[in-house]
A and B are shown apart, each in its own frame.
Chain A
């Protein structure tokens, strides 16, 4: 059974700071997806990465997929209060989710 880990579990930062959150798997991802979820709503897909070593950018968000396809990182530059939420990684084949990183960006 694939196990996904995410770190840190919680992160509270000031507006304007940079941050990186991580996702690791006990096995190789066929593909990996990052989602953001706000309270009381369903998760919203941010990105899908497929190729080892792949880097994707979405405005202030940079996603990296490890060469071995067992880990990924999400870097946010100049965080804003609107970035607050639960960030989840998920295996794109079996749709198992990691435990998430709860980010709070304070104004």
Chain B
């Protein structure tokens, strides 16, 4: 089946630093990638949708200057949390889709900002 790799799985950083999370589709070309945020015991909240070669579309309330998304190729999208603060600590999950196919999810990145 389709595989999406997300890296790193865990990261701890100091407040004020930036963190980059990578999402790769390993065996298919992902025309669209999605970034979600999930708080403990809650559902996934869609942050943004990115299409290869174009700017990401952010959901209402998500700061595009704080959560930078780059979808440079059909197999790689990155999310950079800039100037991270403790309230940015969360579980970030990416998913990838090839057109109208089902979503394939990465295993998530647990970010802890100290």
A24 smallest CB distance to B (angstroms): 14
Q: How far is the CA of A44 from the CA of B99 in the complex (A)?
A: 18
Assess whether B102 is in contact with A43, with CB atoms less than 8 Å apart: no
State which residues 28-78 of B face A: CB under 8 Å: 34, 36, 41-46, 49
A48 within 8 A of B: yes
Count residues of chain B with CB under 8 A from any CB of chain A.
Answer: 24
B91 cross-chain contacts in A, Cβ below 8 A? 40
Secondary structure dominating the interface of B? strand
A72 within 8 A of B: no
Q: How far is the CA of A62 from the CA of B108 in the complex (A)?
A: 28
Interface band, chain A? 20 to 34
Assess whether A92 is in contact with B102, with CB atoms less than 8 Å apart: yes
Assess whether A43 is in contact with B110, with CB atoms less than 8 Å apart: no
Looking at A51-59, A63-71, A77-85, A94-102, the stretch in contact with chain B turns out to be A94-102
A42: which of B41, B42, B45, B107 is its contact (CB, 8 Å)? Answer: B107
A4 smallest CB distance to B (angstroms): 9
Assess whether B110 is in contact with A95, with CB atoms less than 8 Å apart: no
A48 smallest CB distance to B (angstroms): 6
A86 cross-chain contacts in B, Cβ below 8 A? 43
A92 cross-chain contacts in B, Cβ below 8 A? 100, 102
B25 within 8 A of A: no
**Which interface residue of B44, B45, B46, B93 has the most chain A CB atoms within 10 A?**
B44
**Given contacts A41-B107, A42-B95, A95-B103, is CB(A102)–CB(B41) below 8 Å?**
yes
**Given contacts A41-B108, A45-B103, is CB(A95)–CB(B6) below 8 Å?**
no
A100: which of B34, B43, B104 is its contact (CB, 8 Å)? Answer: B43
B46 cross-chain contacts in A, Cβ below 8 A? 95-97
Q: How far is the CA of A92 from the CA of B46 in the complex (A)?
A: 13
B59 smallest CB distance to A (angstroms): 9
B44 cross-chain contacts in A, Cβ below 8 A? 43, 88, 97
